[in-house]
Amino acid sequence: MKISHFVAVSLVAGLLCGSAVIAQTSGGPWNTETATIGEMTDNAAAKAIFQKHFPEILANPQSAQARDFTLPEIRQFVPSITRAKLTAMDADLRALPPRPIVAAPEPPPVNEWLTWGYDPERSGWNRA
């Protein structure tokens, strides 16, 4: 009884966690709250909307440092970012197709065999 209960709980937890991971990898709609400046400038249509609403940010050479931030996150540093401008930009961004899903990078290759403390490819004792 206890083992079957544990197995059932584990299966339910696995299903719930698996769906959470799938939900996190979806691109979702464009908006200023979740899309970073880098994502918007990498997409041609989103960059045109960004240029329309905030041309001074793209013209600033320091904007490359803000690629990983959203517009609300840099709002304190740029006084021209107002709530009204963000709302207007969100309305334009809603017309775009959803953001693409970014694929996770491939893991680096690993050895298929165990080295048990030494690796003949990396040690010098067996090289001619």
Q: What is the structure's pLDDT at 86?
A: 95
pLDDT digits (tens, 9 = 90+) for 101-123: 878 788 877 766 655 666 666 66
**Is 75's pLDDT higher than 70?**
yes
CA distance 63 to 59: 8
This prediction has a pTM of: 0.60
CA distance 56 to 106: 37
Please compute the mean of the pLDDT values over residues 49-76 and round it to a whole number: 93
Residue 104 φ then ψ, to 5°? -70, 145
